[in-house]
Amino acid sequence: MKTLIKMSFMVMITIIAFTSCKKDTRALDLTVAPVTTLNAPTDNASINLQPTTGPSIVFNWNASTTQDLVLYEVAFDKAGGDFSNPVYKVLSDGSGVQAQATITQKQLNAIASMAGIAASTTGSLKWTVIVSKATNAKLSTTSHTLQLTRPAGFAVLPDSLYLTGSATEHGTNASKAIAFKKTGDGVFELYTSLQAGTYSMIDKTTGTPTTYSIQNNINVVLNGSTTVTGNKAVYRISIDLTNAAATLTQIVSVGFWSAPDGKIWFTLPYIGNSQWELDNWPLVIPQESYGADSRYKYQFTIMNSAGVQSTEWYGSINSDNPDPSSTTPASYWYMYLVDNSQFNFCFKILPADNNKNVNVNVNFSPGLPNYNNTISLH
């Protein structure tokens, strides 16, 4: 009897629990009202894009009248497009919940490129707003046109750049291409030799890279290659993809310049891989009336594409330096562009190396944290 009562009680508890959990259910309302008014930028607004310095552009519109939470996307399309396959979409501010989107001019430059507007030209781009709730999305009932003027240069800037080709030190095998040193956003430089042949630049050494080439020694274009004729020479190749510019500067010589003597003691031969080196040099530190004076820096003789020669000086970041020792940090030897003063911004030689044969090396390899120089015992 007790067992029957217990079982009856458990059935009643189960029925109560089941009925208490039962709730009214309604179909989810996916109705969404489209955006009907776009505010800014105004229709046919003109923007002269400045990707690196221009302020961000705020796109805003009147919010959808939908009562529930919705998400907004700004969609861009070509001038004749209908937004069925927009060239680009971006969520509005606040992860898509605000009725505005803040878009950088760098982004707009890239979007303009996707829409087929070439660098250094003006073209039209359409924009509108897509509002959505769950799986239901509605295109705005209106759109605006933008007149965008793109600067010279590339809209999408690579993080890396490499040199490859028969004219280069590492040949045509892309996996062995020579890396440039990145000095800024879209800005690269490389010290290397070029010989008769062809070369191009790539943004990666595997897969399908984007290829660039230099035209007329001043412009960077997509695809193609550059032809080198004449004798092998060493160059500083400076690339600025933000304005599609290239500068080739020939490094005619690198001289070791002694401050107390006020003259170049010797020039360093280029040995490849962005380095100059003189081996087995008998070092004798000058003895002046005030004592031994080992101050030195480097004089680079350079030549531009027009054949005009000039000089650059490389030395220490410090205007004055103590003698180095075995515990001197590597940063002591970092090379910086300096002035032509006789005694300022000079390095000093380790006193223990006096009257010994040494190797002098100037290393402008792109993988270094800073270009440097070393004097080591032979």
Q: Mind listing the pLDDT tens digit for each residue in 130-154?
A: 999 988 999 999 999 999 999 888 8
Q: Work out whether the CA dihedral 371, 186, 58, 83 comes out positive or negative.
A: negative
Higher model confidence: residue 264 or residue 289?
Answer: 264
Integer angstrom CA distances of residue 292 from 101, 265, 296:
67, 16, 13
d(CA 331, CA 369): 10
- The letter for the amino acid at 310 is S
pLDDT at 28: 64
Percent of the chain with pLDDT strictly greater than 70:
92
pLDDT of 81 above 50:
yes
Average pLDDT, the chain: 91
User: Could you tell me the pLDDT band of residue 371, with boundaries at 50, 70 and 90?
Assistant: very high
User: Could you tell me the pLDDT band of residue 6, with boundaries at 50, 70 and 90?
Assistant: very low
10 Cβ contact list (under 8 Å, min separation 6): none
On the question of a cis peptide bond just before residue 366, with omega within 30 degrees of 0, the verdict is: no
Other Cβ atoms within 10 Å of 259 Cβ, number? 21
- Whether 33 contacts 140, CB under 8 Å: no
User: Could you tell me the pLDDT band of residue 9, with boundaries at 50, 70 and 90?
Assistant: very low
In the block, residue with structure tokens 């508890």: 13
SS3 sequence of 76-120: EEECCCCCCCCCEEEECCCCCCCCEEEECHHHHHHHHHHCCCCCC
Q: So where are the chain's domains?
A: 38-149, 162-243, 251-377
If residue 47 lies in a helix (H) or strand (E), which one and from where to where? strand 45-48
pLDDT at 152: 85
d(CA 119, CA 348): 49
pLDDT at 86: 96
Mean pLDDT on 259-281? 97
Closest CA to 375 of 266, 262, 274: 266
pLDDT of 16 above 70:
no
Integer angstrom CA distances of residue 128 from 63, 71, 72:
13, 14, 10
d(CA 271, CA 300): 16
pLDDT of 218 above 70:
yes
91-117 pLDDT per residue, tens: 999 999 999 999 999 899 999 999 999
pLDDT of 345 above 90:
yes
User: Could you tell me the pLDDT band of residue 156, with boundaries at 50, 70 and 90?
Assistant: confident
Closest CA to 57 of 94, 101, 121: 101
pLDDT of 255 above 60:
yes
pLDDT at 242: 87
Higher model confidence: residue 261 or residue 15?
Answer: 261
pLDDT of 23 above 70:
no
- Whether 162 contacts 97, CB under 8 Å: no
What pTM was computed for the model? Answer: 0.76
d(CA 181, CA 371): 10
Percent of the chain with pLDDT strictly greater than 90:
82
Token couple for 229: 């004729």
Picking from 41-55, 274-288, 364-378, which range would have the lowest pLDDT averaged per residue?
41-55
φ, ψ for residue 9 (rounded to 5)? -65, -40
Other Cβ atoms within 10 Å of 115 Cβ, number? 21
CATH number of 38-149: 2.60.40.10
215: β partners? 219
